[in-house]
Structure 1
Amino acid sequence: MLHMRPLPSIDDFTHILGAIARLKHYPVAISLIKRIESFGISPDVYTLNILVNCFCHLNHLDFGFSVLATILKLGYHPDFITLNTLVKGLCLQGNIAGAVRLVEEMEKNGYKPNAVTCGTILNGLCKIGHTSMAIRLLRKMEEGNFELGLTAYSTIIDSLCKDRLVTEALNLLTKMMSKGIQPDLITYNSLIQGLCNFGRWREATTLLNEMAQRKIVPSVRTFNILEDTLCKEGMLTEAKEAFDVMIERGIRPNTVIYSSLIDGYCLQSKMDDAIKTFNMMVERGYSPDVFSYNILINGFCKNKRIDEARSLFDEMSNKGVAPSIVTYNTLIGGFCRVGRPQVALDLFLKM
């Protein structure tokens, strides 16, 4: 394009530069913008917005603000993309106060922040744990008649769940739905995780059923959360039912789900069921990791089936799975408990 005569318009170059930036090749986009300038092609505000975006993603916010100064010097008017990009850059650095100051400056200069601006700050506040400030901003946005979308509410719901304020998160869900905004998979996963962290698995199961009614397909992560909770609660029948539901819905369990089930069986000394689940995992094409082996080895050691634990340890080495310090500690403890300290000592020296 640079060798074409006449030269293509800046719009044509900007389309390509935007695509390169979207592919996250930020240094390439920056160097190409400098190159087109060296050919005497003046960048427009859209080209400069791409430059601001690239600098922000590369954590060179000071250069981003320099580009803003260039935009003003050239007599262009920064648009919402320019300012929202800088707000996002400040939030990515954790400088929420700076982002708020920039928004205030925008307002003084006649730029009214839009839903994207406030949503970016909401997300930044939640990421640094300032959920209460995010809620205050959300209320201000509601009063200001912003078109609030699902992302704003989901971000705060997730943050409330992480702050162990699950009841407040459920209340916000109800409020959100009363405004006609329907939850998606991300919203449900946050709530199910929050409920499960408190052992409120019945409410989590209710949400899972609600998802089915709304035709929202649960992800592997949804079932990971449920399986882990049910198994830790000793509710293996329910855990197996959830596992079967997952298979029926065509969702392939992953190693984490199998490991949760194996752990549940081991906690109840149902070692034969644990082995059966372990073998099922292998038959279905999943390679057990050190975490899966450690669970089984621990189960066998607690049940004083030390030779089977040692056999699994050897199998790990043969299959190229490196034992961890947890593996060694578990086996050493197991051999000591059954009165075989010499084997324990050999393992210690091997470790």
Structure 2
Amino acid sequence: MLSHVRQCRSLRSPVKFLTLSPLTSFIFSEPSASAAKFAVDDEPTTIDSLSNPVDIVCEIITGVKTFGPVKFLEGQWFRTLVQSLNQPQVDQIVDVLRIESPDSAVLFFDRLKSEYGFRHSRVSHLLIAHVLAGRRRCKELRSALEQMLQQEGTGSAPSLCELLWISFRDWDSNGVVWDMLAFSYSRLDMVHDALFVLAKMKDLNLRASIQTYNSLLYNLRHTDIMWDVYNAIKVNGIPQSEYTNSILINGLCKQSLIQEAVAFLCETEGKESKPCVVSFNTLMSGFCKMGFVDVAKSFFCMMFKHGLLPDVYSYNILIHALCIAGSMEEALEFTSDMEEHGVVPDVVTFNILAKGFRVLGMMSGAWKILHEMLRRGLNPDIVTYTILICGHCQTGNIEEGFKLQEEMLSRGLNLNSISYSVLLSSLCKRGLVNEALSLLCKIENIGLKPDLATYSILIHGLCKQGDVQRAIELYKEMFSKRILPNAYAHCSILLGLCEKGTISEAKMFFDTLTEIDLIKDIVLYNIMIYRYAKLGNIEAAVKLYKQIIEKEISPSVITFNSLIYGFCKSRKLVEARRWLDTIEAHGLVPSAVTYTTLMNAFCEEGNIHAMFELLREMESRAVEPTHVTYTVVIKGLCKQQKLQESVQLLEHMYAKGISPDEITYNTVIQCFCKARDLKKAFQLHNEMLLHNLQPSPVTYNVLINGLCVYGFLKDADRLFSSLQDQNIRLTKVAYTTLIKAHCVKGDVDKAMVLFRQMVENGFDITIRDYSAVINRLCRRCLINEAKKFLHLMLSTGISLDREICSVTLNAFNEGGDHNSVYELLAAMIKCGLFPE
């Protein structure tokens, strides 16, 4: 104790202190750090009231030696004294303690950092690193160095290496510290710094460990530099571990150099090291990711030939690949095989199988896997539940998804963001956006923070439901939480504003995104261009296109399709046709939509020749026509009364494997109805059914109208009744067509029955519907029948208008029904319609 006090007294003289440590000159040459501030229980003591800096160092060292490090460092005296310590003083204390009491030095170093937040210097870190290295406390050594490197940052290797060389070159365990420094740099992904340290070690004849080389090799496995590291291992004669070759094989697989990986395994087999399970696993994984499961299985068999037993990871690789390929039976066979070879399936194995069944939509199989897990005493983890929740939500059984959520909570497991995102997405898809918002509150209440995916799903759901205002509120909330919305959220809001708002609101939002430079691609521009084109504002659409070119954003085919559609809608077909050349000028190929849009526009204009010219150009460029393209061509043929050719084109579509839709058939059926060939029209209807194509309400509207127009009213009634018996939903047009036909025939009772059915089925009945019937009845002088419909109209709360009053007054006057005239005049006055 007396010798220690004398030593502390010698610290009062910087010259004498030089004899204590080879580091002293370096310490005193550093600029003195400002004193750190620490939180203490009592009033802080001022620096003036304390001993001078050298006395403080001596007193702390004496206190540690006298009372022991734990008791002294927890004492109130040290808590007060520590406020005035700076980095050079701490360096001195650590340097003295590491000689006399290494454990005390480590404890003092850790306590200052953990309890008082003291920022240690490089010197203290390296002093403690040498203490830990000398005592073979490798885990703590790595932790101390990693803390220092995180503090120093990238590019710090040259100055740290200089410090190690100048001040620590002759110290014991110096080689260990150098090696761990390179390893720590590599672990923190500071690869260039790690390479610098290794280069310095080579100059100093210090040898790095295989663990350091393996770590660096792993970090560089995506690059060709990994070969330089591998060659350095061989040149320096460093014994390889079983993972060295596996890391290099993994790197080759990552670079899609599978053949080179196989060649490397064959080349090193039996020479440098015996192939290990990890190497085979790496190759199997590489082949499976490329879809070559059979090749992976051959390597699996080779493991047995080399006397190696596959581990659970080996089996999981193959089982996963087989599940992805949909070969669940073979995957289950491998699961049985692994048990026969003494390898026990783990939770990962069962999760892979459960996911395989989920992908195939076989949730019963997934549940069997869960029950097997429980039978074996394995606890389902968060991945297991996430798989089951995703499966049930994707099959529409969201209720089961929420039951699983409750079961997870009962087992002490909280859902992850993926599970919640799936539940939120399922609720939004079913239109249950309010319930999704309630779930968002629950997520926040259990401490989970909503992420970008969560907000994007909700914003999309709200916009799809038409509640754009609430979506914008969530959008603003994202910014307040420093979550930057992605293109998906932007698109949802812009589409919502276009659909439910006004074009001016959409433009304001779009302009805001443009001003703050959040539009990086063409998608949002395409939305606005299409909206302008749909509204017929082709000038605004072209203006946006010019902005795209100015900003050097590459337009897409969709951009040009929207512009062509806009010009076609404005009937500027010559300009629309010119945009085909512009598409090619941008190195793009016109799509089927491009040609179909133009063809339809020329067809509508009656320019069938131009339409067929475009079709020939389309085929010459190997652009495959779609069923919509053929529908447009059929419409053109029908306009030319080429009905037989339109039917032949239908057959040609089936021959090419293109299925016509109901619109295609409706086009042809309508043409045959107009041509009075109702027999062929109904044959086409039956053909639809043979091809499992359900006729649409429009199909039946066309057929019923055809029967009515050409006097087959009884057949129209039979068809109508048959459709009602089959619970086929009919439109209002079908009812009004029959009602008008019965009015013309004078069968008012039947017309009244149909009219009442139309009202009972919830169709929106307007004054135009009543007017159409009453006008026909009046023209046929069916005054009493017209009065019935007039009374029915008034009883449903629909007010009179001048048109219907004028027609009925004339009919009543001509029929001499003066009482009805007076009644109608009174009703008009009551409705505020004063006779002229």
- Give TM-score scaled by structure 1 length: 0.87
How far apart, CA to CA, are the structure 2 residues paired with 1:103 and 1:244?
A: 52
Instruction: Decide which of 453, 463, 467 is 1:200's aligned counterpart.
Output: 467
Listed as ranges, the matches of 1:113-262 within 5 Å are 113-262=380-529
- Residue 118 of structure 1 deviates from its aligned partner by 1.0
Relative to structure 2, which stretch is displaced further, 150-159 or 226-235?
Answer: 226-235
Instruction: Decide which of 541, 552, 563 is 1:296's aligned counterpart.
Output: 563
Is the alpha carbon distance of 1:298 and 1:49 closer, same or farther for their aligned partners in structure 2, counting shifts above 3 Å?
closer
Is the alpha carbon distance of 1:49 and 1:91 closer, same or farther for their aligned partners in structure 2, counting shifts above 3 Å?
same
Q: What residue identity is the alignment partner of 1:100?
A: W
Is the alpha carbon distance of 1:235 and 1:42 closer, same or farther for their aligned partners in structure 2, counting shifts above 3 Å?
same
Check if 1:273 corresponds to 2:540: yes
Is the alpha carbon distance of 1:86 and 1:325 closer, same or farther for their aligned partners in structure 2, counting shifts above 3 Å?
closer
Relative to structure 2, which stretch is displaced further, 152-161 or 278-287?
Answer: 278-287
Is the alpha carbon distance of 1:326 and 1:55 closer, same or farther for their aligned partners in structure 2, counting shifts above 3 Å?
closer
Check if 1:309 corresponds to 2:576: yes
Instruction: Decide which of 43, 46, 50 is 2:313's aligned counterpart.
Output: 46
The residue aligned with 1:16 is 282
Do 1:14 and 1:46's aligned partners in 2 also have CA atoms closer than 8 Å?
Answer: no
The residue aligned with 1:108 is 375
Instruction: Decide which of 333, 338, 341 is 2:606's aligned counterpart.
Output: 341
Do 1:88 and 1:120's aligned partners in 2 also have CA atoms closer than 8 Å?
Answer: yes
Instruction: Decide which of 509, 530, 534 is 1:263's aligned counterpart.
Output: 530
How far apart, CA to CA, are the structure 1 residues paired with 2:602 and 2:356?
A: 56
Is the alpha carbon distance of 1:59 and 1:249 closer, same or farther for their aligned partners in structure 2, counting shifts above 3 Å?
farther
How far apart, CA to CA, are the structure 2 residues paired with 1:233 and 1:126?
A: 28
The residue aligned with 2:821 is none
How far apart, CA to CA, are the structure 2 residues paired with 1:214 and 1:115?
A: 27
Relative to structure 2, which stretch is displaced further, 266-275 or 254-263?
Answer: 266-275
Listed as ranges, the matches of 1:2-13 within 5 Å are 2-4=269-271, 7-10=274-277, 12-13=278-279
Q: What residue identity is the alignment partner of 1:46?
A: Y
Q: What residue identity is the alignment partner of 1:251?
A: L
How far apart, CA to CA, are the structure 1 residues paired with 2:388 and 2:484?
A: 30
- Residue 104 of structure 1 deviates from its aligned partner by 1.1
Q: What residue identity is the alignment partner of 1:205?
A: I
Listed as ranges, the matches of 1:45-124 within 5 Å are 45-124=312-391
Q: Which runs of 5+ in 2 are unaligned?
A: 1-267, 616-836
The residue aligned with 1:350 is 614
How far apart, CA to CA, are the structure 1 residues paired with 2:336 and 2:361?
A: 23
Do 1:21 and 1:50's aligned partners in 2 also have CA atoms closer than 8 Å?
Answer: no
Q: What residue identity is the alignment partner of 1:13?
A: S
How far apart, CA to CA, are the structure 1 residues paired with 2:599 and 2:286?
A: 55
Is the alpha carbon distance of 1:60 and 1:38 closer, same or farther for their aligned partners in structure 2, counting shifts above 3 Å?
farther
Is the alpha carbon distance of 1:333 and 1:124 closer, same or farther for their aligned partners in structure 2, counting shifts above 3 Å?
closer
Q: What residue identity is the alignment partner of 1:126?
A: C
How far apart, CA to CA, are the structure 2 residues paired with 1:87 and 1:278?
A: 49
Counterpart secondary structure, 1:56? helix
Is the alpha carbon distance of 1:284 and 1:142 closer, same or farther for their aligned partners in structure 2, counting shifts above 3 Å?
same
- Residue 23 of structure 1 deviates from its aligned partner by 4.9
Q: What residue identity is the alignment partner of 2:430?
A: D
- Residue 138 of structure 1 deviates from its aligned partner by 1.4
Do 1:262 and 1:277's aligned partners in 2 also have CA atoms closer than 8 Å?
Answer: yes
How far apart, CA to CA, are the structure 2 residues paired with 1:108 and 1:86?
A: 16
Deviations along 1:239-292, whole A, 9 cap, x unmatched?
233323434554334222111111222344332211100121233334433432
Relative to structure 2, which stretch is displaced further, 176-185 or 321-330?
Answer: 321-330
Is the alpha carbon distance of 1:329 and 1:148 closer, same or farther for their aligned partners in structure 2, counting shifts above 3 Å?
closer
How far apart, CA to CA, are the structure 2 residues paired with 1:23 and 1:220?
A: 29
Do 1:201 and 1:229's aligned partners in 2 also have CA atoms closer than 8 Å?
Answer: yes
Relative to structure 2, which stretch is displaced further, 241-250 or 37-46?
Answer: 241-250
Q: What residue identity is the alignment partner of 2:611?
A: L
Do 1:246 and 1:253's aligned partners in 2 also have CA atoms closer than 8 Å?
Answer: no
Do 2:564 and 2:594's aligned partners in 1 also have CA atoms closer than 8 Å?
Answer: yes
Do 1:131 and 1:160's aligned partners in 2 also have CA atoms closer than 8 Å?
Answer: yes
Is the alpha carbon distance of 1:76 and 1:294 closer, same or farther for their aligned partners in structure 2, counting shifts above 3 Å?
closer
Is the alpha carbon distance of 1:62 and 1:276 closer, same or farther for their aligned partners in structure 2, counting shifts above 3 Å?
same
Do 2:568 and 2:598's aligned partners in 1 also have CA atoms closer than 8 Å?
Answer: yes
Q: Which runs of 5+ in 1 are unaligned?
A: none
How far apart, CA to CA, are the structure 2 residues paired with 1:125 and 1:231?
A: 34
How far apart, CA to CA, are the structure 2 residues paired with 1:107 and 1:37?
A: 31
Do 1:26 and 1:57's aligned partners in 2 also have CA atoms closer than 8 Å?
Answer: no
Is the alpha carbon distance of 1:38 and 1:194 closer, same or farther for their aligned partners in structure 2, counting shifts above 3 Å?
same
Counterpart secondary structure, 1:341? coil
Identical-pair percentage: 32
Taking only aligned residues, the RMSD between alpha carbons, in angstroms, comes to 2.7
Deviations along 1:10-46, whole A, 9 cap, x unmatched?
3x43663476378556525433222222222111223
- Residue 304 of structure 1 deviates from its aligned partner by 3.6
- Residue 326 of structure 1 deviates from its aligned partner by 4.6
Counterpart secondary structure, 2:308? coil
- Residue 99 of structure 1 deviates from its aligned partner by 0.7
Is the alpha carbon distance of 1:165 and 1:62 closer, same or farther for their aligned partners in structure 2, counting shifts above 3 Å?
same
- Residue 328 of structure 1 deviates from its aligned partner by 4.7
- Residue 201 of structure 1 deviates from its aligned partner by 0.8
- Residue 209 of structure 1 deviates from its aligned partner by 0.7
Deviations along 1:199-222, whole A, 9 cap, x unmatched?
111111111111111111111222
Instruction: Decide which of 286, 303, 310 is 1:36's aligned counterpart.
Output: 303
- Residue 237 of structure 1 deviates from its aligned partner by 3.0
Q: What residue identity is the alignment partner of 1:283?
A: E
Highest relative contact order (Cα 8 Å, sep 6+), 1 or 2? Answer: 1
Is the alpha carbon distance of 1:22 and 1:179 closer, same or farther for their aligned partners in structure 2, counting shifts above 3 Å?
farther
- Residue 100 of structure 1 deviates from its aligned partner by 0.5
Is the alpha carbon distance of 1:278 and 1:166 closer, same or farther for their aligned partners in structure 2, counting shifts above 3 Å?
same
Do 1:232 and 1:264's aligned partners in 2 also have CA atoms closer than 8 Å?
Answer: no
- Residue 49 of structure 1 deviates from its aligned partner by 2.2
Do 1:262 and 1:295's aligned partners in 2 also have CA atoms closer than 8 Å?
Answer: yes
How far apart, CA to CA, are the structure 2 residues paired with 1:324 and 1:298?
A: 13
- Residue 105 of structure 1 deviates from its aligned partner by 2.0
Counterpart secondary structure, 2:269? coil
Is the alpha carbon distance of 1:238 and 1:21 closer, same or farther for their aligned partners in structure 2, counting shifts above 3 Å?
farther
- Give TM-score scaled by structure 2 length: 0.39
